[in-house]
Amino acid sequence: MGVDVLKFQIETEQEDDGRWIAEVIGMPGVLAYGKTIEDAVARVQSLALRVIADRIEHDEARPALLNISWVHL
């Protein structure tokens, strides 16, 4: 049984209105806003995990085991 290693990079930026936006590089449309950088990162990680789960559920991905890590740029 193999382990699929997924390593995602998260890019953050502060908007003019003070909110933070976080985006997972390589996952189009996976971005989230937060009042703080930590909030935005937590929200985008949660969204990315839902996207991964959806892909598994719809047989778009078939990992045996997953090892997911996050890199905040």
| CATH numbers and ranges of domains, the chain | 3-72 (3.30.160.250)
* Model confidence band, residue 69 (pLDDT cutoffs 50, 70, 90): confident
User: Cα(5)–Cα(33) distance, rounded to whole angstroms?
Assistant: 26
What mean pLDDT, rounded, does the chain reach? 89
Q: Are 23 and 9 in contact (CB under 8 A)?
A: no
| Residues 68 and 10 sit within 8 Å (Cβ to Cβ) | no
Provide the whole-model pTM.
0.82
Could you read off the pLDDT of 18-52 as tens digits, one per residue?
999 999 999 999 999 999 999 999 999 999 999 99
Q: List beta partners, residue 31.
A: 23
Residue 13 token pair: 């930026």
